[in-house]
Each structure stands twice: as C-alpha cells, then as structure tokens.
Structure 1
Amino acid sequence: MLVSKDVVKRYMSKVAVSGISMQMEEGKIYALLGPNGSGKTTWMKMVAGLIKPTMGSITYNELPIGIESKKKIAYMSTEPFFYDYMTVKDVGKYYADFFEDFDMAKYERLVAKMDLNMKDKSKNLSSGLSAKLKIAATLARKAEVYLLDEPLNGIDIIARDHIMNAILEVANEKTMIVISSHLVDELEKIIDNAIFIKSGALVLNGDAETIRKEHQKSIVDLYKEIYA
C-alpha cells in the first residue's frame, strides 16, 4: 500500500533520512519511533508530499506521491498551522474548503469530545488545546492514511486518553495509521507494528508482538536499549 524504497533526504551536507526502505499496509497502526532529530518528521513530510526525497522513491498504491495521494493521506504536523484570526469553527471551514473528504459533523463531534469551544480563537488556545484541535481537524477527514507527528506532545495524561480513543475510532481494516512519538509507553498498547529510526536510518521494523518475542523485551525496553 505504502512503499518507501531506498529513501534519502539531504539538506546540504546534513543527511536527515538515510536509505529507508519499508512497506506498510492498510488495517494497521504503526509506531514510528525515535528521539527528536532521528528523521521521523522528514520521512512523514515526504510521504505527505510536502518535500521530495533526494534519492529513492515513495509510492502509495503503486503511484508516486503527488496530487492524487494527497487526497487520501491526512498529515498532522508538529507545527501549528492555523491562522491567528481563526476560531475553532473557522478551522473546520478551512479544512472543508481544502479537502473533499472532510466530515464537518465528525469534526464537531471530535471538537466536543476534546472539550474545545467552536467560538474560541486558535491563537488563545493552550498548547494542549491546540494539539487537540490539530487532532480533531486531521481525524475528521475520511482519509485512507493518517500520519500523526507527535500527537501526544504537550498533552496531559487525561487528555491523552481522549486522543488515543479518537485515533482508535478511525482505525479499521481499510485505514493505515502512522504515529511518530518518543512516548513509547502510550503507544505500545495500541500498535501493530514498531519502526525504530536512529540518525535517519532504519534500525528495526516489524510486527510488534514478533519483536517482543524475538528480543524478549517490551517495545519500551527496546527503545531504551536502542537510544540509550
């Protein structure tokens, strides 16, 4: 479904992604693991079509990443991407203008679950509420692939449960969810596959349960071992 083949991304002399090859399938939740600066965001942005690989290729359903794939891939960045003048309601209208698959009714339900107010301005939201707003806007799309870059950053423990439940609601046999994070203990409970990236390179990739059995360790303990 989604194939990354020998993907390299360089910025001048810096190599952000170094030869990542992997295949990802629908119906699964993937954890893209690694500390800040490991290359997770760069790889996600290439899949989302925001930047291009220096070398290698990424295809979705055997087609190169481009206009058609953007219609089916929903990407949530770590950076804030709403204008200051926008209210929570405006954000929904903004997304509806851009994406044919945006479901306003679903957005309103998610906003209510996230304890957001449609009249609140995005610039006045706390970091936690801003993160919830990004999640609501992204998950309200009827996409085939959801790329969530650090969705739990700045979120308190109780709010994390709301976000994880919202993510699980869109998970089914026809969707693929890729979540990048260094909060491994939160993800281990829900993921099907774990992908470890270090210094831009793929270190370990596979079915989460198989990895646990082969290494006789939890995903959390493996993370500590790989990145210690």
Structure 2
Amino acid sequence: MILQSNNLVKKYMSKTAVNGITLDIEAGKVYALLGPNGSGKTTWMKMVAGLVKPTSGTITYKGISIGIESKSKIAYMSTEPFFYNYMTVKDVGKYYKDFFSDFDEKRYEELIERMELSMKDKAKSLSSGMAAKLKIAATMARKAELYMLDEPLNGIDIIARERIITTILEVTGEEATLIISSHLVDELEKIIDNAIFVKKGTIAMNGEAEELRLAHGKSIVELYKEVYA
C-alpha cells in the first residue's frame, strides 16, 4: 500500500468533518473519492496533503507519517484558488517551480497548450473553467507519485471534460496513483479502478469498481444515487 489512513478523525469545534476513515490506497491505481459537498472528502485529502492536522488516527505514506518527505511526493490540487491577482499563467509556473523541486517547466508548457491557455493570460481574468484548467496544469506538471485532485472538473464545460480527463491520465502514466474527488460520477465511472463513497465523514461503500458493479448489479452512478438518495 502506498497510503494508509487508519481510523482518521478530524473535528472542528462541535462538528466532526471526518469520523474514523480507514482506507488503503494501492500504487498505480485510479480512485474516485465520491460524495456530495460537506461529506468529508476535502478534509480527508487535506490531511493526506499535510495541510490539516488530524484530531486522532494516523496517515502514513509508504510507511512514513505525513510530513516534509511525503509532501515532496504528493501533489494536491485544492478547490480554492491559490494564485495571486498579479500573476500571469507564466508566473504561476514560476511560483510552482520555486515551491516544488519536481515541477517540470516543459511539461507545464505542454499542459498549458493542451488546456488552450496562454502564458500571457492574467490568472484573475480567467473564467472559472479556464482557472480550473490552470490549476490542473500546475498540479500535473509536478512529477509526483500520488496526485490528489479535489473537484477538478468544476466549472469545465461538458465537451472539454473528457479531454481534460484523458490529459490527466496520460500525464500521470501507469506508475503514479491518482485520487479524484468529485460528485460528477458519470464522468469518472469509465476510468476508475476503485470507488470510495464518503457520507457524513465515514466510508459508506468502498471497493474495486468492477466488483461493486457485479456485487450490486448496478453502475457506479446508480450506486451513487442509492447511497446519497
């Protein structure tokens, strides 16, 4: 297992955002972290990324507790915008290069071109869809071992989604591990190896996508509707 989350809990005052999540993530697989807003997906990802400290429980990456070493191997894309208003698309690349030693400038340039962006574009003037593409390009330009994308398709039009997903898969390759958080289940069903359903801070259902389909006689989309109806 590349990543292990054991009985992970995160509380904010009286609210419990994550309530005892235990998960094993295998290397080289594509995971869908599914659930509506507020289910605990983002909080769990932020703990894995080392941005939020757990209230209790443990997370290990290759057997080592989350910290400086794991951060250099895990690329996380948040839902929040993380660019300064003055930045151009080119500046965003420089910003990332300063922070991450595994940032590949050439890959970034190629991704920006594939996302149909311009290096001269101002980050603050981009539409929500274009800003989403910029976040994906910046994150995927890192040569990480584990990529976590939180709602990467938000704001991206339905026609561009398939192309974006194809680009993400091509960039990560077969060796890297990918966790995509989303409520757009139909977009992910055809590309995932495993599905993790998060509900009210707990795991409602988890397993290999094909095994879940066979066991329940339903698609992942249908299971999503059943779990969250």
- Which residue of the partner structure matches residue 136 of structure 1? 137
Once the two structures are superposed, residues 157-192 of structure 1 have per-residue CA deviations (whole angstroms, 9 ceiling, x without a partner) of 122122101111133342110000000000001000
In structure 2, runs of 5+ residues without a counterpart are: none
- Which residue of the partner structure matches residue 85 of structure 1? 86
- Which residue of the partner structure matches residue 18 of structure 2? 17
Q: Distance in 1 between matches of 2:91 and 2:171?
A: 23
What SS is found at the alignment partner of 2:121?
A: coil
Q: Distance in 1 between matches of 2:171 and 2:126?
A: 25
State the 1:102 CA deviation. 0.4
Letter in 1 for 2:171: V
State the 1:221 CA deviation. 0.1
Q: Distance in 2 between matches of 1:70 and 1:140?
A: 15
Q: Distance in 2 between matches of 1:164 and 1:11?
A: 33
- Which residue of the partner structure matches residue 202 of structure 1? 203
Task: Kindly indicate whether residue 143 of structure 2 is the aligned counterpart of residue 127 of structure 1.
Answer: no
In structure 1, runs of 5+ residues without a counterpart are: none
CA contact (8 A) 1:149 1:180 kept: yes
Letter in 1 for 2:189: E
What SS is found at the alignment partner of 2:44?
A: helix
Task: Kindly indicate whether residue 192 of structure 2 is the aligned counterpart of residue 191 of structure 1.
Answer: yes
Letter in 2 for 1:143: A
Q: Distance in 1 between matches of 2:225 and 2:190?
A: 17
- TM-score calculated relative to the size of structure 2: 0.98
CA contact (8 A) 1:101 1:141 kept: yes
Once the two structures are superposed, residues 11-66 of structure 1 have per-residue CA deviations (whole angstroms, 9 ceiling, x without a partner) of 00100000000100111000000000000000000000000110100000000000
Once the two structures are superposed, residues 136-177 of structure 1 have per-residue CA deviations (whole angstroms, 9 ceiling, x without a partner) of 000000000000000000110122122101111133342110
- How many equivalent pairs are there? 228
CA contact (8 A) 2:79 2:152 kept: yes
Once the two structures are superposed, residues 65-88 of structure 1 have per-residue CA deviations (whole angstroms, 9 ceiling, x without a partner) of 000000000000000000000000
CA contact (8 A) 1:196 1:202 kept: yes
Q: Distance in 2 between matches of 1:94 and 1:43?
A: 26
- RMSD (Å) for aligned C-alpha atoms: 0.7
Runs of 4+ in 1 over 3 A off after TM superposition: none
What SS is found at the alignment partner of 2:142?
A: coil
